[in-house]
């Protein structure tokens, strides 16, 4: 299976390390690019707009509480563009607030996963995310350029 690309949008270095480690430990051996704030994530996805080969990750793991631009704003931007509208976006956050869950789905999130506190549970959750979204799930076809 060819390597796929995960865009991890995470401002906390400890959570970034844990997520990368959980992916490796769980056997999800795809490439990971990290954006450390919402603006950086949007710039990374859309900076190549108009290029012959725009950068589109196969999966976005998106935290909600980010500097410069919230995860909700990033999600809205992704869903407002025809090229990225079908991109799988999983909210991976520590928030268990009901309004965050509701707003995430209303804005177009494909899944909402609260980061478990226990590392082994976190590994299992991230492994399941990677297997499902990068192996089992059939992604939407990209519109013709």
Residue 145 lies in a domain: no
Range of the domain at 78: 8-49+57-136
103 domain-assigned: yes
- For the domain that residue 132 is a member of, what is the CATH number? 3.40.50.2300
Q: In the prediction, which pLDDT does 134 show?
A: 83
Residue 26 has pLDDT above 80, yes or no: no
- Domain membership of residue 143 (yes or no) is no
Q: For every residue of 60-102, which 3-state class applies, written as one string?
A: EEECCCCCCCCHHHHHHHHHCCCCCCCCCEEEEECCCCHHHHH
Q: Does 2 map to a domain? A: no
Model confidence pLDDT, tens digit, residues 106-132: 999 999 999 877 888 888 888 888 888
| 1 lies in some domain | no
3 found inside a domain: no
Q: What is residue 29's predicted lDDT score, i.e. its pLDDT? A: 79
Instruction: List the structure tokens of 119.
Output: 């590392």
**Whole-structure pTM value:** 0.88
pLDDT band at 54 (very low <50, low <70, confident <90, very high): low
């Amino acid at each position: 299976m060819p390597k796929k690309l995960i865009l991890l949008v995470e401002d906390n270095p400890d959570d970034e390390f844990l997520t990368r480690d959980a992916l490796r430990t769980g056997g999800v051996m795809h490439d990971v690019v990290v954006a450390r704030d919402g603006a950086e994530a949007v710039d990374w996805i859309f900076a190549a707009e108009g290029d012959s080969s725009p950068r589109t990750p196969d999966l976005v793991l998106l935290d909600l509480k980010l500097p410069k631009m919230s995860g909700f704003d990033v999600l809205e931007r992704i869903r407002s563009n025809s090229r990225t509208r079908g991109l799988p976006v999983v909210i991976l956050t520590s928030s268990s607030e009901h309004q965050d869950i509701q707003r995430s789905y209303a804005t177009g999130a494909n899944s909402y996963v609260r980061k478990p506190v226990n590392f082994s549970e976190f590994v299992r959750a991230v492994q399941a995310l990677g297997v499902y979204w990068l192996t089992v799930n059939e992604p939407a076809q990209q519109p013709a350029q």
